[in-house]
Amino acid sequence: MLARPRRPWLSALLVTVGLLAACGDDTGTAQRADAPATPGSETAFPVTIEHAFGETVIADEPARVVTWGWGSADAAVALGVVPVAIPFEDYGGDDDGVLPWIRERLEDDGTDIPTVLPDAEDPPFEAIAAAQPDVILAVYSGITAPQFELLADIAPTVAYPGEAWSTPWRDTVELVGRALGRTTQAADLLADIDEQVAEQADAHPELAGKSVAMVWDTGDNFYVYKPADARVAFTVDLGLVSAPSVDALANGGSTFYFTLSRERLPELTSDILVSYADTPDASRAFLSSDVAQVMDQVRRGGVAEVVGTELVASVSPPTALSLTWGLDEYVRLLSRAVTETA
């Protein structure tokens, strides 16, 4: 989960989509929740959205939506719009490349899973074109300027507003809401999520003011996440604070993570250590290693082990659907890390 999802999201903590048949009939049209026109719905168009590669004008409410990258599909589904095609997610997804919170939401709604794009590092342009989109949402992605131009030749494309793989999760929801003409619904969705997070914070006062450092040991590198990272910001919303040692040790150009030499691990002090791992074996291997045992949090048991690709993906960074999907388990792990060292 470093730079978000595509393969290297593992090495930095992140994730990633044969050619699919064209979807030219009505069965591929984006499905949407029945709702009357409201401010921020059909009446909102045309919409102009600025992003890293300029601006995109969406003339009419999209009926066929394709998403690329991380979180845009989740936001669309949460807002009542089912894309005609979504990216294959190999990290946290099932054998079909579908994330559990998307599958569960659509199955609960009695809605078919949309076309899953081929598993690829770069946008699969032919498959995206075959889906005949009215709009392409790549709000949290790593598309390059040339890739954006190719996508924009297919349909109006909304890229990330700042740096690749760095759009705050709330901004992803808001931008997708604007693109779909559902700004009011997006605001309501964010308010509902904030309320659920606040309820968890109120229910767990033991978390208030506790400092946290969030890390991933991949074997090759030891990653530490900065306060600007979405997973840290989300954790702070639960009442914790980012450990001062994180800022003191930060190095490198990335805004949301840095690598730390294992010789300096004792300097990464905090009340709680959040440690990510793909499997229980990988988590045990790190925490039982000599390098981990030099850390005060590990020695006294103040570690929240976030283990398993689904749970890791749900909070790294969170999305409109995944945040609440993994919230209870994540808070349980944080609370246990605090209480077991009290």
Q: What is the CATH number of the domain that holds 27?
A: 3.40.50.1980
Is 282 part of a structural domain of the chain? yes
Is 77 part of a structural domain of the chain? yes
pLDDT of amino acid 336: 97
Is 310 part of a structural domain of the chain? yes
Residues 231 and 96 in one domain: no
Q: Exposure string (b/e) for 106-135, b if CB count within 10 Å is 16 or more?
A: beeeeeeebbbbbeeeebbeebbbbbbbbb
Residues 14 and 103 in one domain: yes
Q: Which domain holds residue 121?
A: 7-193
Of 174, 193, 212, the position where a domain reaches its end is 193
Which residue in 274, 293, 320 sits closest to 169, CA to CA? 320
Residues 67 and 213 in one domain: no
- The residue ranges of DSSP E strands in the chain, in sequence order, are 31-32, 47-51, 54-58, 65-67, 81-82, 85-86, 115-116, 135-137, 157-158, 211-217, 222-225, 241-242, 257-259, 272-277, 303-307
Domain count, the chain: 2
Residues 46 and 170 in one domain: yes
pTM here is: 0.86
Residues 81 and 166 in one domain: yes
Is 48 part of a structural domain of the chain? yes
Residues 144 and 280 in one domain: no
Of 167, 193, 219, the position where a domain reaches its end is 193
Is 1 part of a structural domain of the chain? no
Burial (0-12, 13-18, 19+ Cβ within 10 Å), 282 = middle
pLDDT of amino acid 332: 97
pLDDT of amino acid 110: 97
Is 333 part of a structural domain of the chain? yes
Residues 300 and 263 in one domain: yes
Could you tell me how far CA 291 lies from the centroid of its own chain?
29
Residues 34 and 157 in one domain: yes
Longest dimension (CA), the chain: 61
Is 105 part of a structural domain of the chain? yes
Is 2 part of a structural domain of the chain? no
Residues 225 and 177 in one domain: no
Of 161, 193, 225, the position where a domain reaches its end is 193
pLDDT in tens, the chain (342 residues): 443 444 333 333 333 222 223 333 333 334 333 333 334 444 479 999 999 999 999 999 999 999 999 999 999 999 999 999 999 999 999 999 999 999 999 999 999 999 999 999 999 999 999 999 999 999 999 999 999 999 999 999 999 999 898 899 999 999 999 999 999 999 999 999 999 999 999 999 999 999 999 999 998 999 999 998 889 999 999 999 999 999 999 987 777 899 999 999 999 999 999 999 999 999 999 999 999 999 999 999 999 999 999 999 999 889 999 999 999 999 999 999 999 876
Residues 174 and 234 in one domain: no
Residues 210 and 168 in one domain: no
Residues 157 and 219 in one domain: no
